[in-house]
Structure 1
């Protein structure tokens, strides 16, 4: 499984796993939080490498994360994962499998695309409108941290759609989602208490991975673009 992984990827994954194991024993973290964090990290690292197998870990992560979010009253996160992310894993398995690379290029399984100028404009305008509308809904439901929750939810949906379409710029949206999610969980843990510190570790790791994912996908897209000329 690790034969085509770079040294950075191996060290990064090992370090993240070690931190989660430490939190589990030293801070009495929940076992479900531990499973969510580990499966989530494996998922996003494999996405960054363009590996179809990321979706298997995504199935585990989205299901357990939805359960944890519900317990903290983060209904936007709960609905996002249970009603969108979870079924999206199966859709992703199907779509990515249809667009495998024929050539044996290191660290890459699928064909990659880039967002057009028109696509950027449509995506940004849609994001703003949907964040406002969903924030109003969450407020009516009595949710906590509604605007951060709304922003992470909508941007996550857009990022996931771009991911399913194999578009490189998905990572820019994931970076924004991860920053907002760190703020969301810091607020939830401070105001409500709880031992799920692994959620903070997970989102921080996701942020670092998103930056790496963008850099790696840009390189892969440029390489694929050059080979198709």
Structure 2
């Protein structure tokens, strides 16, 4: 998915789906900007962050209307982490366009797993108890997993793609259930791009290892 015409084709497909499902202009803007942002991320293009900020604003409004409050709150976190990632990717990069990819240390993996369980339980309880959230614990789990994925992405850690692939699979089911069919279709494409991103980043990381330019673990 490196070539520009691949992106044009994907956008065209999303617009066709949008037309057949009578999507709103906001939903179309959210899906197209989200698609472009993830595609740029897989290519390690720094423009993924400004495009992603546009996407965050669109999704914030859309999730509010759908009563998916965890996802709505998530967009605020994404906004902050995107700014952080924009800065991180442009530092300690030497002669490269962006900072080299790093690997996640086992200790961090255990910490993130613990955080996923604790935050999901607490967030899900709050949504179920104090809001009219549609599917509070599923919503909270996907939202928490997405925050962890974005945190790893912002710090240029390879394993962010494992998290995003899990988010994509779960989101396809949730948005289909909520009858947000354009979003569900978008996450099918996200799944493909995330898989491609994992392969590309891992290949470049191994090449950097062989040449002695590997990033430090996180």
Q: Does 1:54 align with 2:38?
A: no
1 CA distance for matches of 2:86 and 2:120? 28
Tell me the CA shift for residue 205 of structure 1.
1.1
Q: Which residue of 1 is the match for residue 187 of structure 2? A: 203
CA contact (8 A) 1:95 1:164 kept: yes
Matched, 1:126 2:132: no
Measured against aligned partners, the alpha-carbon deviations of 1:10-45 in whole angstroms (never above 9, x if no partner) come to 454233211122133333211111111111111111
Q: 1:12 to 1:157 in 2, by over 3 A?
A: same
Question: What is the CA–CA distance in structure 1 between the aligned matches of 2:87 and 2:16, rounded to whole Å?
Answer: 36
After superposition, give the CA deviation of every residue in 1:154-209 in whole Å (9 maximum; x if it has no partner).
001111111111100000000111111111111111xxxxxx53211211111111
Correspondence 1:36-185 to 2 at 5 A: 36-81=30-75, 83-103=76-96, 109-140=98-129, 141-185=131-175
Partner of 2:216 in structure 1? none
Let me know the Cα RMSD of the aligned residues. 1.7
- The total of aligned residue pairs comes to 212
Deviations 1:50-79 (A, max 9, x none): 111100110111110111111111000000
1:109: Cα distance to partner?
3.0
- The answer for the alignment partner of 1:192 in structure 2 is none
Structure 2 segments unaligned to the other structure (5+ residues) = 214-218
CA distance in 2 between partners of 1:24 and 1:160 (Å)? 27
